[in-house]
Amino acid sequence: MSGLAWVMAVCAGVAGGLAVTRDQGVRRARALFVRKRASWPDAAVACAVVRTFANRRREWLCAPVAVCLAVVGDSVLPLIVGAVAIPLVRRWLRRRARRREREQAADAVTALCAAVVGELRAGREPGQALLAAGRNAGALGVAESAVLAAARFGGDVPSALRRASAGPGLDGLAGVAACWRVAVDGGAGLAAGLARLEGSLRAERRRREELRAQLAGAWSTVSVLALLPLIGLGLGAALGADPLHILLHTPGGLVCLMSGGLLEVAGLLWAARIVRAGEAT
C-alpha cells in the first residue's frame, strides 16, 4: 500500500505541475496575443476594407468563379462569360439596392406620419410637431432637410412636401402635403388626416408584403430551374463524363453550350417578367 500511495502522490504532483505550467502558458499566450493585437491595428483596418469591398463590389465575385472554371476546363471561354457577367450582376445588385432604398424611404414616411400625429396630440403646433418628428426620419435624406427648413423658418411646408414627394419611395409625402394644405386653409384637423394617411400607408405596405410572400414560391421555382443545368454538369462530372471538356472543346458541345445558354437566359427573363408583372399588379 505504501508503494501505491507513493505512486499516487507522484502522479498528483506531476498533474499539479502540468496544470500550473499550462495556466502560466495560457496567461503568457493571452498577454502576447493582446499585445500583438494592440500593436497591429492594420489587420483590423485591412479586414474592414476587405469586408466593405466585398459588400459594395460583390459583382467581382464572378471573376474568381470564372478563373476556376477556366482552369478546370482549360478554356478561355469562362473568362469571357465572367467578364460579361460582371456588369450584368452589378446592374442587378444596383436595382435591388434602389428597391431597398425606396422601401426604406416609404417606411420612413409612415413613421414620420405616426410621429407627427403623436406630437400633435401631445399639444404641439404643426410646425413644431414636424420639426420634432423629422429628426427621427433619417431615411428621408435631402427631402428631410428641405421640409424641416421650411417648417423651421416659416416657409411653404406643403410645397416643400410636394417637391420632396418626387423622390424615390417618398410618394406618401404628397398625401402629407394635401393634409397640411387642407388643415391650414380649411381648418380641418391635421392629426386626424395624418392618422388616416398613416393607416393607408401601413395597409399598402402590408399588401406589398403579402404579395411578396405569395410570389416567394414562384421565385423559388425560377431559382431551381436556373440551377438545373449546373446540377446536370455536376452529375455528369460525378459519372466521369467530363462535361466541361465536351462543352468547351468540341464543336457539338460549343453549339449545345451556346444554344442552352441562350435558352436559359430567355427562360429566366421570361419567368422574371411574369413574376414582376404579378408584383406590379
Query: Which long-range CB contacts under 8 A does 29-36 form with residues at least 24 apart?
Result: none
Average pLDDT score over the chain: 76
Question: For residue 191, is pLDDT > 70?
Answer: yes
| Cα angle 159, 172, 166; round to 5 | 55
The answer to whether the CB of 78 falls within 8 A of the CB of 69 is: yes
- The answer to the question of residue 32 being in a domain is no
Q: Is 259 part of any domain? A: yes
| 240 assigned to some structural domain | yes
Residue 209: inside a domain: yes
> Residue 22: inside a domain, yes or no?
no
Look at residue 82 and tell me if it is in a domain.
Answer: yes
pLDDT for 55-82, tens place per residue?
Answer: 567 888 888 888 888 888 788 888 888 8
Burial 8-34 (b: 16+ CB within 10 A, else e): eeeeeeeeeeeeeeeeeeeeeeeeeee
In this prediction, residue 203 carries a pLDDT of 92
What is the pLDDT, as a whole number, of residue 25?
45
pLDDT above 50 for 32? no
Report residue 2's pLDDT band, with 50, 70 and 90 as the boundaries.
very low
More confident residue, 42 or 151: 151
Is residue 262, in this structure, part of any structural domain at all? yes
Q: What confidence tier does 5 reach under pLDDT thresholds 50, 70, 90?
A: very low
Q: What is the DSSP string of 214-276?
A: HHHHHHHHHHHHHHHHHHHHHHHHHTT--HHHHHHHSHHHHHHHHHHHHHHHHHHHHHHHHHH
Supply the range of the domain harboring residue 187.
Answer: 62-280
Residues in the chain: 281
Q: How many domains are there within the chain? A: 1
Encode pLDDT of 89-129 as tens digits: 899 889 889 988 888 888 888 888 888 888 888 888 888 88
User: Is 44 part of a structural domain of the chain?
Assistant: no
